[in-house]
Amino acid sequence: MTKTSHPLPVEIGLTAAILAVSGAADDTPEPMVLVARPASATSEAALPSGPFDPVAHRTFEIGLRAWVAEQTGVPLGYVEQLYTFGDRGRHAQAGDRDPHVVSVGYLALTRADTKLTQAPEAAFRPWYSFFPWEDWRTGRPEVLDALLPRLTAWAEQEPGAGGPARLSRRERMRLLFGVEGGRFDEDSVLERYEFLYEAGLVPEARRDGRAAPDGVPALGQPMLNDHRRILATAMGRLRAKMKYRPVIFELMPQTFTLTALQRTAEAISGRHLHKQNFRRLVEASAVVESTGEMSRATGGRPAALFRFRREVLQERPAPGLRVGARV
């Protein structure tokens, strides 16, 4: 063990899901992701990514911040490593001869109001355009009407449903999509995407030779290579993290109303939240404090403005918006 071996010509790519919320100040925020290149007739949308140069940069994160700043001008706040994909099968396009790319996925947060200098192609896109089934803010998303029957069909044709060791497709479907009395757990974004991938219902899955089920409806916009998988990981991680770390304030302006905060939490989690309970939760968690100012830009009664209370970091081990199943 701990053998030495010859260096293999493996290239490290750093791929970032850079997330922001547009209009976090007012009450119709939309969660966005920075795409390096929006989809066109000839190419799919892609996340920004760049090679890691171990000579120039001491760590991955330094390398990532460097090329993101250089190429897009977007200042990154919070940055977190997600997962490293070494999966040849998934990257392979027909005809490839194994480029041996290992890609390290990152989640990064920024504010959406930044100007995209130096990157004429780059743009922020609503992340639910890539994952329409994840947006439950105004109730059950419509894609599910097209999606669930196909998943059910796929679940039912399961070959020899296996022992109790593995969950059956049917059971996974119940747990992931909240059908048959299950609950839709909003944090399981990646698991749902992987499930659709296995079922062959996303275009990405058909690149490595799977047959396309006939007449599959558009299930969100596809992305280059593994990029949609990285975005799914980022969304799931952010949804989960929001509950025990005050990351949401990386996406908010300096001051904001409680309704704006709630709308942003809803935009991220993809769920509708209960107003009174959300406010009580915020108050109890002491993550914000009043600035004393008022905003009269809201349309009705003026709203008090709040700011993030940095001191919570010192006071509590896991400060966040602990929205439960119902809040």
Partner DNA sequence: TCAAAAGTGTTATCCTTACACCCATGT
Partner DNA sequence: ACATGGGTGTAAGGATAACACTTTTGA
Which residues are at the interface with DNA (CB under 7 A)? Answer: 27, 257-259, 274-277, 279-281, 284, 296, 298-304, 322, 324-327
By CB under 8 A, tell whether 322 contacts its own copies: no
Of the residues 26, 27, 87, 198, which one makes contact with its own copies according to CB under 8 A: 87
Pick what 60 binds: its own copies, DNA, none; C-beta below 5 to 8 Å, kind-dependent: its own copies
The tokens describing 108, both together, are: 């990064």
Pick what 10 binds: its own copies, DNA, none; C-beta below 5 to 8 Å, kind-dependent: its own copies
Give me the torsion for CA of 241, 52, 204, 207, rounded to 10°.
Answer: -160
Q: How far apart are CA 148 and CA 157, in angstroms?
A: 14
Helix (H, G, I), strand (E, B) or coil at 49: strand
**Residue type for 320, please?**
G
Residue 116 near residue 20, CB atoms below 8 Å: no
* Residue 174 or 274 with smaller CB distance to its own copies: 174
The tokens describing 82, both together, are: 């997600």
Question: Whole-number minimum distance, CB 302 to DNA, in Å?
Answer: 5
Q: How far apart are CA 146 and CA 235, in angstroms?
A: 23
By CB under 8 A, tell whether 8 contacts its own copies: yes
The tokens describing 45, both together, are: 């949308």
Question: Whole-number minimum distance, CB 276 to its own copies, in Å?
Answer: 26
Which residue ranges make up the site for its own copies (CB under 8 A)?
A: 1-3, 5-12, 36-37, 46, 48-55, 58-60, 63, 67, 71-72, 81, 83-84, 86-89, 98-100, 102, 104, 119, 121-122, 164-165, 167, 171, 174-175, 182-183, 185, 188, 224, 310-311, 313-314, 317-318
